[in-house]
Amino acid sequence: MKYAVIDKGELGRWFDSLKEKGKIYGPKKKENAFVFRQVKEFEEMSLLYTPTILPPKKYYFPQKEFLFKFKIDPFSTGKAIKEFEEFILFGVHTCDIAGIQCMDVVFNEKPADPNYLNRKEKMTIIGIECMDYCDKYASCAAVGTHVYKGGYDIMLTDIGDSYAMHINSEKGENLVAGKKYIREMTEADREKFNKAFEEKLKKFHNEFEGELKEVDESFDKGFSSPVWKDVGDRCVGCTNCTAVCPTCYCFDVVDEVSLNLNDGSRYRVWNYCQMDDFAKVATGEDFRQGRDARQRHRYFRKFKYSVQKYNKYFCTGCGRCTRTCMAKISLVETVNSLLAERRGK
Amino acid sequence: MNHTDQAFQEILKTSPYKPMKAKVVRAHKYTEHEKFFRIELDGKKELGHAPGQFVQVSLFGQGEAPISICSSPTQKGSFDLTVRRIPGGVMTPAIHALEAGSVLGIRGPFGNAFPLDKMHGNNILIVAGGLGIVPLRSLINYILDKRKDFGEVQILLGCKTPKDMLFGDEVAQWQKRADIKFNCTVDKADPDWKGNVGLITSLIPGVTLSPKQTYAVVVGPPIMYKFVIGELLKKGIPEHQIVVSLERKMKCGLGKCGHCQIRSVYVCQCGPVFTFEQLKEMEGECHEGECHVKA
Amino acid sequence: MSKPKVAFFEFTDCEGCQLQVANLGPGLLELTKLVDIVNFREIMSEEGQEYDVLVVEGSVASKHDEERLKQVAAKAKVIVALGACACTAGVNNLKNLKDLAEQKKIVYGDVDPVSDAIEAKPIDEVVKVDYYIHGCPIYGPEFLKVMECVLLGKPYKVPAYPVCVECKQNENICAYEKGQFCLGPVTRAGCNSWLPNHGSVCVGCRGLIDNPAADAQKDILEKYGLTVDGILDKFTLYCNSKKERAKYGKEFKK
């Protein structure tokens, strides 16, 4: 679509103008980390942040999501799809936007998921471009999510004393329309913008010791690799890596009954392939035993199965799984070990 | 997004999680642990399933459980389920508490089905071990109702003891029919048992069907596959004509929740029916018994 | 149909779990619409004699406890173990670390006011338990959830996954990131990460998950500068019953 520019000093004013569109969620500081929370005042946000503990996933695929109400006797079900309110995600990194794009593919695949799609309809995404690495755990350049590739309504890029705004949808267009403090991008702005981009690219490098094509091959051949035993031996099974992943979408379905023992609701709740009993059936047979097999499954879901199924890498390089792992299992190291093994052969 | 506008609006309005209301019209115990249910959907609506598919049985307050459909789609106005009670479990004891007149929720049918299109015109060898007869009853009754669409048909049935035999009344009928061959074996006989004793694999060498024109459909516990498939390959039945059904933890039935995944395959959508040729590609992630063949 | 009768009995414990029940407020009032509470020392004085559901708090730590538990259990249709002491013997296990005679000497000197004392044990070593509500103290909302299951006649599955699952969903900062030592990764969930939500670390009061990765956990602790002794000390407080020890005993040697 088109580019616009807003002075940094005016960003708060623009933020205020967004409030009438719906609730705004943005990155806030929490001790030494960051979390997405509802933001009432612009100043509450930290726009320069390392990826939040949980990705913004919690707003479009909540930890516990209502499906429908029921009555046990007489058997009846309530309205299943709730009307959701418009909301805005403000300051989303490109890695997390890539995560949303992955979820889009999953929940659009037939049978499509009305809960997700309904929420998605109400969601406005205002992204912010990272001009440098957030920390040493990110591997966004390896998977190409350090630069933006759609999936947002407006993208903000820091070009010094102002932000360039890439307006990528009609929704985005409406958010800037009629604002006098937002101007068309001038030649001078464009120069700054290009320069900033050039400078940024110099800072990022492929974090993997091989191109994606090679990573792909190493996963093809790496199913029985000793790498998985090593990872499995170190894994304590806390499930954090899957909880924080912007592209993990496994869930369980549970019933909750109120204390009258007749009315209740069915929910879906996050569930993780790293859980001990994730693939265990009622008769007791466990179809994915061992932390090594479970970790391998996690990696394959990011680098192989999703490619086979959706032609898409489901690793966004956000680095959360590495950052959160108390056993210090590193995604980059695991991938590099696979690559090294492949080359050794 | 690939949806047309109208189709998309439809999707947004309906929840695939909401079960249909259904009623148990008949219930009886076949064995100590297995109970049979005949079920009608509200308004006698057809379930519209194919042999090999399953439903999610939904009991509000308890949850959901994936259960194979054991009746043929040629049975109109109702469908059948047979459920083994797992002590200490949540769902199966609750399902066993249902009696004629009980109301329950049904979602589905889910999954692919036995490849009837390809099976038409061919010989059919059915190998059922233990609870494997449950989904296979659907196929057997379908074949019997459409008998002329298939070549020679042979059924091999194995169970632990004569007491564990399911669908005894129907098995007796199958035995009598002249247009199919039926063999049965038990691991352990009781004094009244006059038939074969031994593992189901012992029946396979006696199969006389010409292998290249035969589809073998095998359903049983994972460990059975290992031995049965080995015998079938020895017979010369091609890998893509050996068909099995896999058990997995299936929660949503929609290919989303992840529990039933084998490598990149969601069993609830792409399965539960696979050919041995497909199983081999899932090696390493599928159960040892399912894809490591003991010849 | 008359309402099921529920009785609370306490054995060797602090009655803190019953206090959690008493503190449930509206939830408890809702519950009393469905059941009659016939014996509950924390909130009522009169004692009823008949009951269907027996809620047992506390460990068995004396011969008297053992006999009394058998007696009160004989009348019940359903038995619920309430709290760490009843479920795993909780902190009462500490007394088992030393020989009983030696322990008595340390505590009482030359007198012996508890001549019938025995090694502390969870109640399921004496009677068959149908429902477990772990924790020291119990987590109120879980108590209500379990009572719902009791009334619906449905088993309650204690989460098999660790506290981290709940903690991460609550977006707490990981204790390990703060250089603290937390038992969350090996402790069974169900408390909605109660302690970490309030800035504290998990102390393992709900007992270990069924399949704790003891070796991996040890590596982690060493990585964070903790000694094996220190780790065992942490486990000792709550995870010291025979059942719990068996889970890490094989791999988790000094």
Q: Are B50 and B117 in contact (CB under 8 A)?
A: no
**CB under 8 Å to B46, separation ≥6 — which residues?**
B76, B77
* Alpha helices by DSSP H, chain B: 5-13, 91-96, 116-119, 133-145, 168-176, 222-235, 267-270, 276-281, 288-291
Query: Could you tell me how many helices (H) and strands (E) chain C has, helices first?
Result: 11, 7
User: Looking at chain B from residue 111 to 150, which residues have their Cβ under 8 Å from any Cβ of chain C?
Assistant: none
Closest partner residue to A276 (CB to CB) among C160, C176, C217 is: C160
Is C25 at the interface with chain A, CB within 8 A?
no
**Rounded mean pLDDT, C37-50:** 72
Range of the domain at C82: 5-152
Q: Are residues C114 and C20 in the same domain?
A: yes
Termini Cα distance of chain C = 57
Return residues 59-78 of B near C (CB < 8 Å). 61-62
From the list A111, A273, A279, the residue facing B16 with the nearest CB is A111
**How close, in Å, is residue B90 to chain C by CA atoms?**
6
Size of interface B-C (CB pairs under 8 A): 10
- CATH match of B5-110 with 2.40.30.10: yes
pLDDT in tens, A234-267: 999 999 999 999 999 999 999 999 988 999 999 9
Smallest CA–CA distance, residue C131 to chain B, in Å, is 12
Domain coordinates of chain A in residue numbers? 2-61+83-203, 212-250+273-344
Neighbours of chain B (3+ CB pairs under 8 A): A, C
Nearest CA to B108 out of B63, B46, B59, B62 is that of B46
Burial (CB count within 10 angstroms: exposed 0-12, middle 13-18, buried 19+), residue A19: middle
Residue C18 included in any domain: yes
Give the count of alpha carbons within 13 A of A251, CB side only.
Answer: 24
| Cβ within 8 Å, pair B90-C152 | no
The 10s digit of each residue's pLDDT in B177-229 is: 999 999 999 999 999 998 899 999 999 998 999 999 999 999 998 889 989 99
Identify whether residues C236 and C138 lie together within a single domain. no
Residues A327, C216: C-beta atoms closer than 8 Å = yes
pLDDT in tens, A290-335: 999 999 999 999 999 999 999 999 999 999 999 999 999 999 999 9
Asked if B248's CB is within 8 angstroms of A287's CB, the reply is yes
Residue C113's domain is classified under what CATH number?
Answer: 3.40.50.700
Nearest-CA residue of chain B relative to A105?
A: B1
| Residue in B61, B222, B263 nearest the CB of A255 | B61
Tell me the C-alpha to C-alpha distance, in Å, between residue C5 and each of B119, C52, C70.
60, 5, 19
pLDDT for B1 beyond 60? no
| Rounded Cα distance, A126 and A89, in Å | 6
Residue C65 lies in a domain: yes
Distance CA B67, CA A98 (A): 37
With cut-offs at 50, 70 and 90, classify the pLDDT of residue B12: confident
- Report d(CA A263, CA A156) in Å as an integer: 47
Length of chain A in terms of residues written: 345
Q: What pLDDT does C188 receive?
A: 93
Nearest CA-CA distance, residue A36 and chain C, Å:
10
User: For A106-135, how does the pLDDT look when each residue is reduced to its tens digit (9 = 90+)?
Assistant: 999 989 999 999 999 999 999 999 999 999
Nearest CA of chain A to the CA of C22: how many Å?
17
Distances (CA, A) of A239 to A52, A116, C90, C164, C245: 17, 23, 26, 7, 23
C157 within a domain of the structure (yes/no): no
Task: Please report residues of B whose CB lies closer than 8 A to that of A278.
Answer: 249, 258-259
Closest CA in chain B for residue C156: B90
pLDDT band at C232 (very low <50, low <70, confident <90, very high): low
Q: Do B62 and C154 touch (CB under 8 A)?
A: yes
Residue with tokens 């694999």: B201
Q: In whole angstroms, what is the distance from residue C159 CA to residue C142 CA?
A: 11
- Order of strands across the sheet with B153-159? B196-197, B181-186, B153-159, B123-129, B214-219, B242-245, B273-275
The reply to whether C37 falls in a domain is: yes
Report chain C residues whose CB lies below 8 A from the CB of A275.
160-161, 165
- CB-based contact, B86 to chain C, within 8 Å: no
Confidence check: pLDDT of B292 > 70: no
B94 in reach of chain C (CB within 8 A): yes
Nearby residues of A147 by Cβ (< 8 Å), 6 or more positions away: A94, A129, A201
Whether residue C254 is predicted with pLDDT greater than 50 in this model: the reply is no
B295 vs A: CB within 8 A: no
C38 inside domain:
yes
Q: pLDDT tens, B244-270?
A: 999 999 999 999 999 999 999 999 999
Answer whether A283 touches C (CB < 8 Å).
no
Among the listed residues C115, C116, C133, the one whose alpha carbon sits nearest the alpha carbon of residue C124: C133
In this structure, the answer to whether residues C79 and C146 fall within a common structural domain is: yes
Q: Do C155 and B90 touch (CB under 8 A)?
A: yes
pLDDT tens digits along A49-88: 999 999 999 999 999 999 999 999 999 999 877 788 999 9
Residues B102-123: tens digit of each pLDDT: 999 999 999 999 999 999 999 9
- Claim to verify: residue C136 and residue C230 sit in the same structural domain: no
Residues C167 and C130 in one domain: no
State whether C139 and C180 are in the same domain.
no
Q: Are residues C127 and C224 in the same domain?
A: no
What is the total count of domains within chain C? 2
